[in-house]
Structure 1
Amino acid sequence: MEAKLVLEDGTIFTGKAFGAVEEGAEGEIVFNTSMTGYQEILTDASYKGEIVTMTYPLIGNYGINEDDIESYTSHVNGFIVKEFCAQPSNWRALDKLENYLKEHGIMGISDIDTRALTKKLRIHGTMKGIITTNEADREELIGQAKEAPGLSGRDLVSKVTTDETYRLDGDDYRVVLMDFGAKKNIGRSLREEGCEVIVVPADTSAEGVMEYEPDGIMLSNGPGDPQDVPYAVETVKELIGKKPIFGICLGHQILGLAFGGDTYKLKFGHRGANHPVQDLRTKRVYITSQNHGFAVEAESLDSAEVEITHRNLNDDTVEGMKHRKYPVFSVQYHPEASPGPEDSHYLFTEFIELIASETA
């Protein structure tokens, strides 16, 4: 079935529909440069509100399995690929990508020039858009694209956070994980360090967090604009100085706001598994997995209180920071992912060492 990808600037790509064709899709169009990992991308809550373009040309070739799911459901609003593989070939595959998208109500479009689309987004920035099989006239479709919801101005975290607190078993330190859209691998990484993990909803108060008597607090990744979750910022402000804190992605941005800094929207974001980041303390460069459209503004941070620890070597944006007085630090990228494949896992070890030093 023919489908159209319509951007708010009037650009229209014509291709083929797949997945939940009858649903259509609307949201902010972004691109991800990862060669593999489409299942993790589909189930990463940080993509809530976004239509994701895969720059790697062949998608669906290894199907769907149970091991690479990062959340309780799929969160992307739509999926854009160059070539869609209808028949996977992989020993782990339990289902086809087509069936998975249908089951989760996600429409995709294939057979479009994803290179041209990516180049447009890099030059002009991310845009709102729609995927549709509607045969309405051009102006009507462009109008629908312009009316698609953006990422700012709405609380997407509340749509993806856990409804109830739950526990992941562990024998050593207790960590409260504030779920702003947490990937499963964050909890898994903490458990590999021996931690007991208590996962709490995003709107849990500081008092509610402390009731669990944690040894440390983890701030997870999540979707949208960090300035749209002021309740989380206020909670983190109250928690700073009480226990060791480690923030990832949105958790990093929320921590930046809690430090008194500011955040801003990137032109086209960082999404992929090949972003070079330098640890300024050791000068070592790490290849990192990233998925974010906002960043902490370096100049807004009080350098007397906050040290910038990591920088992105592509655009010099802030990729990590730590408080000079309290045991609090964060990174913008995903150390629980595996682009290196485990180059950045040392950050979890640093977190455990912080906890150990505070509880000694």
Structure 2
Amino acid sequence: MPIPALLVLEDGRVFRGESYGAEGETFGEAVFNTGMTGYQETLTDPSYHRQVVVMTSPHIGNTGVNDEDLESSRIWVAGYVVRDPARRPSNWRSVRSLDEELRAQDVVGISGIDTRALTRHLRERGAMRCAISSVERDPEALLARVLASGEMTGSELSGEVSTDATYVVPAHAGPWGEKRFTVAALDLGIKTMTPYRMAERGIEVHVLPATASLDDVLAVSPDGLFFSNGPGDPAATTDQVELLRGALAQGLPYFGICFGNQLFGRALGFGTYKLKYGHRGINQPVMDRTTRKVEVTAHNHGFAVDAPLDHDTETPYGLASVSHVCLNDDVVEGLELRAPAAEGGGLKAFSVQYHPEAAAGPHDAAYLFDRFTALMAGDL
């Protein structure tokens, strides 16, 4: 017998469906993901910490769950919303069903609701707090608890998802045959595939906790510094911004993705702001303004950098400019820091707002890891 479940948004909208995954109650920020594939990578992305993810693709779970496509050691979403869960998985790599995995990790979800209507509501009203419950029958009582729950704005969350201790991902032999560079990577919610993409290019990656200091970074004698993706409000994350400013002042080559792009922007003196409903999915069009090429990219962000699109900005570290822009809404999707023209105008640091590690696809932006190696080699 199906167990009834409620989804209540903070503006009072109610959706009724059936319990999916673990029974119980959960709270978080309701956001939607437009990807038609890659739900396992989405669930295990630490950037979704404290968020209830609505899948716009109606049929979820058909390929089950395997042990190879995890992007971290656990599921991070606060709750999961699907329309039509698969009755049974069908894939040669599957070892268990998605419903079983959600239950095993105590992730509360809901199925059987009109996810199209919910997505349209979030697009019109914006991402907002919500709750899913299979134990509460009174929507008004659940709404009261939603309104008492925490908001994403002002939340510093990277420390809750970061590694506790430094670990090393060794360089792969690959086409270079040996290690080429050493990178200090600050784990703000890093995905497993990211250091792997660097390692396969001959980079030894030292993954450091979010609490690492500049001295900790310099202790590994890095050729470059990397800031990962992660959850939370960049305006509430200050220590890492100061670390980055110190690294830039010393001329350490830098590459950041997603949250690392937002913190780079703040280090350069730009503001950040919360998007109405964010970008989440694997089908977002972005133009690289340095090459004029358009990439289809993977996104997961609810905040963005407020930087001018029409001119460079002088900073204490060089000239900053917007290198990438979203073609849907002109949101800043990348930044570059270059030396002044009088000093040759060479690239010193760069970042992108999306996920070039391509888990779960697409692969259009893989060149950015090559750009990072070229930066450390002094070729840019």
Normalised by the length of structure 2, the TM-score is 0.91
* 1:129-159 residue CA offsets vs partner (Å, 9 max, x unmatched): 1000234433212111222222122221111
Aligned partner of 2:325 in structure 1 is: 311
Partner AA of 1:111 in structure 2: G
* Local SS of the residue matching 2:20: strand
Residues 1-360 of structure 1 mapped to structure 2, 5 A cutoff: 1-22=3-24, 24-170=25-171, 171-240=179-248, 241-299=250-308, 303-304=313-314, 305-325=319-339, 327-337=348-358, 341-357=362-378
Separation (CA, whole Å) in 2 of partners of 1:308 and 1:335:
17
Assess if the C-alpha contact under 8 Å between 1:287 and 1:340 holds in 2.
no
* Local SS of the residue matching 2:280: strand
Separation (CA, whole Å) in 2 of partners of 1:333 and 1:219:
13
Bigger mean CA offset, 323-332 vs 130-139:
130-139
Separation (CA, whole Å) in 1 of partners of 2:98 and 2:349:
40
**How far does residue 76 in structure 1 lie from its aligned partner after superposition?**
0.3
Separation (CA, whole Å) in 1 of partners of 2:167 and 2:307:
35
Q: Say if 1:278 and 1:198 are closer, same or farther in 2 by CA, change over 3 A.
A: same
Separation (CA, whole Å) in 1 of partners of 2:308 and 2:293:
23
Separation (CA, whole Å) in 1 of partners of 2:199 and 2:207:
12
Assess if the C-alpha contact under 8 Å between 2:31 and 2:277 holds in 1.
yes
Assess if the C-alpha contact under 8 Å between 1:287 and 1:339 holds in 2.
no
Assess if the C-alpha contact under 8 Å between 1:174 and 1:195 holds in 2.
yes
Separation (CA, whole Å) in 1 of partners of 2:193 and 2:363:
12
Assess if the C-alpha contact under 8 Å between 2:225 and 2:253 holds in 1.
yes
* 1:284-309 residue CA offsets vs partner (Å, 9 max, x unmatched): 10000000000000149962320111
* Local SS of the residue matching 1:344: coil
* Local SS of the residue matching 1:321: strand
Q: Percent of aligned positions with the same letter in both sequences? A: 45
Partner AA of 1:306 in structure 2: A
**How far does residue 97 in structure 1 lie from its aligned partner after superposition?**
0.7
Partner AA of 1:84 in structure 2: P
Separation (CA, whole Å) in 1 of partners of 2:105 and 2:8:
22
* Local SS of the residue matching 2:220: coil
Bigger mean CA offset, 149-158 vs 285-294:
149-158
Bigger mean CA offset, 110-119 vs 220-229:
220-229
Structure 2: unaligned runs, 5 residues or longer: 172-178, 340-346
* Local SS of the residue matching 1:129: strand
Partner AA of 2:239 in structure 1: Y
Partner AA of 1:246 in structure 2: F
Separation (CA, whole Å) in 2 of partners of 1:197 and 1:311:
28
* Local SS of the residue matching 1:343: coil
* Local SS of the residue matching 1:67: coil
Bigger mean CA offset, 227-236 vs 265-274:
227-236
* Local SS of the residue matching 2:87: coil
**How far does residue 340 in structure 1 lie from its aligned partner after superposition?**
6.2
**How far does residue 229 in structure 1 lie from its aligned partner after superposition?**
1.3
**How far does residue 203 in structure 1 lie from its aligned partner after superposition?**
1.1
* Local SS of the residue matching 1:327: strand
* 1:164-192 residue CA offsets vs partner (Å, 9 max, x unmatched): 00011122211111100000111110011
Separation (CA, whole Å) in 2 of partners of 1:169 and 1:206:
22
* 1:312-341 residue CA offsets vs partner (Å, 9 max, x unmatched): 000001111111226110000011115763
**How far does residue 281 in structure 1 lie from its aligned partner after superposition?**
1.8
* Local SS of the residue matching 2:47: helix
**How far does residue 228 in structure 1 lie from its aligned partner after superposition?**
1.5
Separation (CA, whole Å) in 2 of partners of 1:120 and 1:236:
38
Assess if the C-alpha contact under 8 Å between 1:252 and 1:330 holds in 2.
yes
Bigger mean CA offset, 53-62 vs 303-312:
303-312
Structure 1: unaligned runs, 5 residues or longer: none
**How far does residue 86 in structure 1 lie from its aligned partner after superposition?**
3.5
